[in-house]
Amino acid sequence: MPTDPVPAEIAPRSGTAFELRQGERLRVIDPQGEQVADLVAFGRDDLGEVLSSGRSLDYASSFLLGRGDLLYSNRSRPMLRILADGVGRHDFLLAPCSAEMFRKLYDDPDPPPGCFGNLASALAAWGISPDAIPTAFNVFMNVQVDGASGRLRVDPPLSRPGDAIVFEACMDLVVGLTACSAGQSNNFRYKPIHYQVLPAQD
């Protein structure tokens, strides 16, 4: 019986991109706990088809997505299905952190590129421009919404060492994935993210 591949590592505050074929599975692992991973996806055959927070939340009638839920494209087609979820709390509201965000929210005069910059660098190999990068599915990110005021609060992730989420590709995709750079998202510690691309299930 074949064994699962050794997980690849995304170094702290960096990102990567890769192709994921229809039916293949992507396991995103938090090896040390309390670390967010930003995930974006594009249709491999038409890069104009992109992951859509608005469509996904609309069709789920919830801003909390987990096991069994679908992540939809801007064309209302399923892109990813969540097959397993060891944490149960992720965010699909906030955009990838960026140098501009660090300047505005952290008053950082010399900011890092953030998840947005890391995604832009990784996705450039497919000809994907920065302007095409959508709101990410923020794996393990713990965003709380105040019911009265609507204000958002970012709390430490609930993920513990070794926790994981598994997605199944519903079409051929180009996927961008990061180890998030925002201190508030990761309880002000920066750790790696591991991931595995697994074959389609029979």
The Cα 134–Cα 72 span in angstroms is 12
Give the chain's radius of gyration (CA, Å).
16
Q: Number of folded domains in the chain?
A: 1
1 pLDDT above the threshold of 80: no
Residue 180: both structure tokens together = 């998030």
- pLDDT tens string 114-162: 999 999 999 999 999 999 999 999 999 999 999 889 999 999 999 999 9
Predicted confidence at residue 2, as pLDDT, reads 65
pLDDT-derived band at 107, boundaries 50, 70, 90 = confident
pLDDT-derived band at 180, boundaries 50, 70, 90 = very high
SS3 at position 72: strand
Predicted confidence at residue 3, as pLDDT, reads 78
157 domain residue, yes or no:
yes
Predicted confidence at residue 147, as pLDDT, reads 85
Q: C-alpha distances in angstroms, 33 versus 37, 49, 129, 166, 189? A: 11, 32, 31, 16, 10
139 domain residue, yes or no:
yes
The Cα 38–Cα 189 span in angstroms is 16
1 domain residue, yes or no:
no
What pTM was computed for the model?
Answer: 0.96
What is the domain range of residue 184?
8-198
Angle at the Cα of 184 from the Cα atoms of 178 and 186, rounded to 5 degrees? 50
42 pLDDT above the threshold of 70: yes
99 domain residue, yes or no:
yes
Q: What is the DSSP letter of 88?
A: -
143 domain residue, yes or no:
yes
Q: In 3D, which of 64, 87, 66, 97 has the Cα closest to residue 157?
A: 87
- pLDDT tens string 59-89: 999 999 999 999 999 999 999 999 999 999 9
49 domain residue, yes or no:
yes
2 domain residue, yes or no:
no
3 domain residue, yes or no:
no
- pLDDT tens string 81-92: 999 999 999 999
